[in-house]
Structure 1
Amino acid sequence: MKEHAVEELPLPGCFRYEIIPLEGIEEGVWEWVYEGERSPTLTITASPARGMGPTVELVRRLREGGYAGRALVPHLSARLIRDERHLEEIVARLKEAEVEEVFVVGGDAKEPAGKFRDALGLLEALKELGSPFERVGIAGYPEGHPFIEEKALMEALIEKSAHASYVVSQVCFDAGRVVKWVGRIRGLGVRLPVVVGVAAPIEAMRLARIATRIGVGESARFLRKQRGWLLRLLLPGKKAGLSYDASGFLEALVREGGGEGVSGIHLYTFNDLKSSVGWVRRQGAARGGF
């Protein structure tokens, strides 16, 4: 994965778009994101309410429609995968779609579907299968995790990094905190490139609707993870429909110095691809064009 200086972060190839496998998203990809061989990377999440099936199926359909397999990055959620045989089946289908990269997470399912309880166990299982993917991403948490202690998070990140190619940070609204977190993990010996998680522009009500469609139990967890953002949107004096805009965050990231090894921007689109793509293009125009 190519690394960029922080001053160069707002570049077209630097952005990747995260999508949720819900009704209508495939049409949105073709309408707003697909650009032939120049199409940006798409990462496809996995939902506890629906399992791994919709993620793998969306990858298959996008590949059959012409999206390059190398630009499709499915999430492999450990707690949604039953056992090694289930994992082998998923890997086989993804390899058929010419997928070269996956993003491995523990997942938000309350109870694991089988033997895999966390991302590390799944990473080790992939290694046992001969490391079938060229690149593997893992998650990092600049502001901590609502259910995991900070020390345990850092220990897990160190262990996972031995099996990974890069780390994606959870959405954070404080660029300074992201920079400090990058410095901290470097101090702990984690040298992986960091792809910084950024929330795309979206209205608070749309976020709530998306969360509801994901599933009742998962919806609550999803909203808890985004609680800092929601508080910003719902502060007194905010106009109805006003969305968060990460332009200031990117400017602050550059201003703060960014940290060694920052490799790109992971855009949490919440399936509003029209707004997300438009925003990315405006970032390019504001910084000399894409």
Structure 2
Amino acid sequence: MATAGLRALLGSVRYEVLPAKATEDKVLAHVPRDVVVTVTASPVKGLEPTLDLATRLAAHGYRVVPHVPARLLRDDAHLKDVVDRLREAAVDDVFVPAGDADPPAGVYEGALPVLRRLSELGRPFSHVGVTGYPESHPLIHDDITIQAMWDKREHATYIVSNLCFDPRVLGEWIGRIRRRDVALPVYVGVAGPVQRAKLMAMATKIGVGESTRFLTKHASWFLRFAAPGGYSPVRLLARSEQAMTVPSAGVAGLHLFTFNQIAETERWRRALLDRLGG
């Protein structure tokens, strides 16, 4: 395994967490302040738990990125209220996916109208993330998802890729978006060291949240977790390192899906950094 490139990626990580009751305590106990924490939102619980946790974590000194799915926003007034609340909490980074709410809570069907509205509001956040799909979206053709990134590039500052388990597919996707002159930096979505029993228990208990919903949407992905020896984040990173670390790739870091196994994810990252001499 090479070292320098992986060390850099592991040093620039984002931890995606679910806004559950124990999440705040877990983050405070195990996550260093230099690790960015992103907070998901679910169509069942709505935006309130996300905004509440993001505000509390920001008060503890974390750089927090709340998810603000377009389909959970009722209207322009609701969006303005969310913006004002987050700016008051000194949150300067948001992630704007379309979201899974069906039907939408209001007027927004997708992320682009929300992004345009944020620009009209004077770009209240310095950092705005949008979604990328290395592996096919279940409902949208690949060319359309890449075109969507092109359309969003004026309003966003970075891309977060959805999970990808195939190093070849990941490398090809990065190449495709760069050939389309999408120059936004990319955070590559990687599942952390998921324990199967905990993951399945969480999926049963929560059943919501973007981080667990895709496991039910993509049976092949779930099988990768469920099969003994079927998924190793270290193996994926080692095989993807070249594609992610060439300068033309523009990969800014890793977006680690923790599935709220926060302590386990940080222990894994620290152990791997130690192995790599970091």
> TM-score, with normalisation over the residues of structure 1?
0.88
- What value does the CA root-mean-square deviation take over the aligned residues? 2.1
Does 1:8 pair with 2:2? no
- Give yes or no for contact 1:19–1:44 (8 Å, CA) kept in 2: yes
Q: 1:117 to 1:234 in 2, by over 3 A?
A: same
Letter in 1 for 2:232: D
Unpaired runs of at least 5, structure 1: 1-5
- Counterparts of 2:243 and 2:55, CA distance in 1: 40
1:48-70 alpha-carbon deviations (Å, 9 max, x no partner) = 11111000000122223x223xx
Does 1:249 pair with 2:229? no
Matches within 5 A, 1:175-186: 175-186=167-178
- Counterparts of 1:119 and 1:173, CA distance in 2: 25
Does 1:271 pair with 2:260? yes
Number of aligned pairs?
273
Aligned match of 2:117: 125
- Counterparts of 1:265 and 1:220, CA distance in 2: 18
Aligned match of 1:58: 53
Letter in 1 for 2:268: W
1:222 is displaced (CA, Å) by 2.8
- Give yes or no for contact 2:244–2:251 (8 Å, CA) kept in 1: no
Does 1:25 pair with 2:23? yes
Matches within 5 A, 1:223-262: 223-235=215-227, 238=228, 244-256=231-243, 258-259=245-246, 260=248, 261-262=250-251
1:79-98 alpha-carbon deviations (Å, 9 max, x no partner) = 00001110111111101110
Does 1:192 pair with 2:184? yes
SS at match of 1:274: helix
- Give yes or no for contact 2:15–2:36 (8 Å, CA) kept in 1: yes
Letter in 2 for 1:201: P
- Counterparts of 2:123 and 2:13, CA distance in 1: 26
Moved more, 244-253 or 82-91: 244-253
- Give yes or no for contact 2:71–2:99 (8 Å, CA) kept in 1: yes
Aligned match of 1:214: 206
- Give yes or no for contact 1:139–1:170 (8 Å, CA) kept in 2: yes
- Counterparts of 2:143 and 2:151, CA distance in 1: 13
SS at match of 2:91: coil
Unpaired runs of at least 5, structure 2: none
- Give yes or no for contact 2:18–2:209 (8 Å, CA) kept in 1: no
- Counterparts of 1:233 and 1:257, CA distance in 2: 23
1:225 is displaced (CA, Å) by 4.4
Task: Pick from 197, 200, 209 the counterpart of residue 205 of structure 1.
Answer: 197
Letter in 2 for 1:263: A
Aligned match of 1:40: 35
1:177-210 alpha-carbon deviations (Å, 9 max, x no partner) = 1111010001111011111100001122322222
1:255 is displaced (CA, Å) by 3.8
1:258 is displaced (CA, Å) by 4.2
SS at match of 1:76: coil
SS at match of 1:107: coil
> TM-score, with normalisation over the residues of structure 2?
0.91
Aligned match of 2:61: 67
- Counterparts of 1:272 and 1:288, CA distance in 2: 24
Letter in 1 for 2:239: A
Q: 1:243 to 1:202 in 2, by over 3 A?
A: farther
- Counterparts of 2:208 and 2:243, CA distance in 1: 38
- Counterparts of 2:208 and 2:252, CA distance in 1: 34
Does 1:107 pair with 2:99? yes
